[in-house]
Amino acid sequence: MCDKMVIIMNHDDEQSVMAALVMAAASAATGSEPLVFVQPGAAKVVVKGALEKYQGLKGQPDPVELFDAIQVLDGRIILCELGLPVWDIKEEDLYDDVEIMNASSFLFEAEDALMVFSY
């Protein structure tokens, strides 16, 4: 990976989730390293089974396939640790390979990112 791209997922509405996943997958496919930081407002999206509710949206790709592609292409899905207690989510409830991180640590990870997108 050469360049980092930060994608902030703030909300769990269809438009925000799909835009973030599409941008992250496109970033990974072009050789960048997407860092998807999932804020508490979108934390439920990374709970096992949650992405399936976004499947079948007219004109949209499959969100599960996008999520898998991001990870296969060395992208990172990072949940803000504050999302766990807000929604009573346990670490074992999350999709595999979702990282948990506090905001300060994420800022260090994203320090040399070339672009930032927020949805």
Residue-wise pLDDT for 5-59, tens only, equals 999 999 999 999 999 999 999 999 999 999 999 999 999 999 999 999 999 999 9
Q: Strand order of the sheet with strand 33-38?
A: 99-101, 76-80, 33-38, 4-9, 115-118
Under the banding of pLDDT at 50, 70 and 90, the label for residue 63 is very high
What's the whole-model pTM score? 0.94
For helices 63-72 and 14-29, the axis angle rounded to 10 degrees is 30
- Note the pLDDT of residue 1: 46
Structural domain tally of the chain?
A: 1
Residues making up the chain, counted from first to last: 119
Q: Quote the domain boundaries for residue 31.
A: 4-118
Please report, for the domain that includes residue 69, its CATH number.
3.40.1260.10
Residue-wise pLDDT for 38-52, tens only, equals 999 999 999 999 999
